[in-house]
Amino acid sequence: ISVTVMNPSGVWLNGAVSQMFHLMAVVCLACVVLKAIQLYWRKRKLLKIFKSFPGPPTHWLYGHLQMLQQEDELDNTASWAEKYPHCHPVWLGGFLVFLWINHPEYAKAVYIGSDLTSSFALCSSIGQGLLILNGPKWFQHRRLLTPGFHYDILKSYVTMMADSVHVMLDKWEQLITQEKSVELFEHVSLMTLDSIMKSAFSYQSNCQTDRSVPGDEQGEGWGSEGGGEWKGRGVEGAGLGCPQSLLLVPFRDDFGKMTYTTMCIKETLRLYPPVPAIARELSAPVTFVDGRTLPKGLTTCLYYSLQVFDPLRFSPENSAERHSYAFLPFAAGPRNCIGQQFAMNEMKVALALTLLRFEFSPDPAKPPIKIPQAILRSKNGIHLHLKKLQ
């Protein structure tokens, strides 16, 4: 005969643990249900707000993410801009929505009619620069940095920019072959990094020739230096990386004024914007020209549509008739790019010196594959055939 003696304290302990796990499960379930209810009401609120803003069909869960993650994203967004010429919502999933703006009057209402805050979701590793700061701290930093980008100061950087460009061009001479094209984006990225380090920090990085310099492969880690909102190598690097500006500038320009070259640069920035989407969070309600409104807290996104490359659209006579908010490669309003004149100067210097030494032709076997990220880039680089001018 065997006798089993139960420990009353052990039975009580097991029961207490069981009740605790049961309570935790109930609490977790309640939190999930509460969150689901919150998301449901948020979705209903957003649908009500954007009811007057028609847009492309959306998936109930993914929104437009599947179309935005394809290689032809820019083509998709261009077709949306044609179908919805003023603006349209874009859903990033089922509960996050932006109003994408395709019309200058809408852009004007956003940049003038409301105090704006940055809405960049960037990793904290870049630091608290102008790009992601808001409020009084942003204003203080902006005011401190603005004198450093005065026109007279920028003029003194031209010689340093030219030195960096010459180093890049000397490297290209060593890479010229009859058969193979040259991938230029890495070289341009290093050149802009070198130029920024010399101009903004008085530092001789030698990043174009010394392969041991940290981050020299793509200039990573330096793109947000100099105040955050100064796009650094993002604007001039991506701008110079677009083949249109190199291939379609004829040798009939006056390099003193660089009128036609400037037109080509602007058209390249319009067709292939280095920062393809400029997002801003509304800190106050905005009413658009047609009476439709957006409340405080929503995010707008200025996006550019693609058209035929035509530098003459920036001729003086054509520019005179253009809406002042129809071309915003450096954004507008108080949060515009603080380094836009620096970027334009560097692109002009680089193009002028490059076209005096080389002719370019595209590599039909390796056309650029556009991938819009923080800046517009080519998935496979920029491959061009180089021919040295005698």
Distance CA 258, CA 108 (A): 29
Backbone phi, then psi, for 149, in 5-degree steps?
Answer: -115, 25
Edge-to-edge order in the sheet of strand 358-362: 182-183, 383-388, 358-362
> Residue 71 carries which DSSP code?
T
Tell me how far CA of residue 272 lies from CA of 74, 193, 373, in angstroms: 10, 21, 13
The answer to whether 224 and 131 are in contact (CB under 8 A) is yes
Backbone phi, then psi, for 377, in 5-degree steps?
Answer: -135, 170
User: Is residue 337 part of an annotated ligand binding site?
Assistant: yes
Helix, strand, coil distribution of the chain in percent, nearest 5 = 45, 15, 40
Tell me how far CA of residue 197 lies from CA of 116, 220, 224, 314, in angstroms: 30, 13, 12, 32
Distance CA 97, CA 93 (A): 8
Tokens at residue 102, please?
A: 């395709």
Distance CA 344, CA 334 (A): 19
Backbone phi, then psi, for 310, in 5-degree steps?
Answer: -150, 95
Binding residues for heme: 337
Binding residues: 337
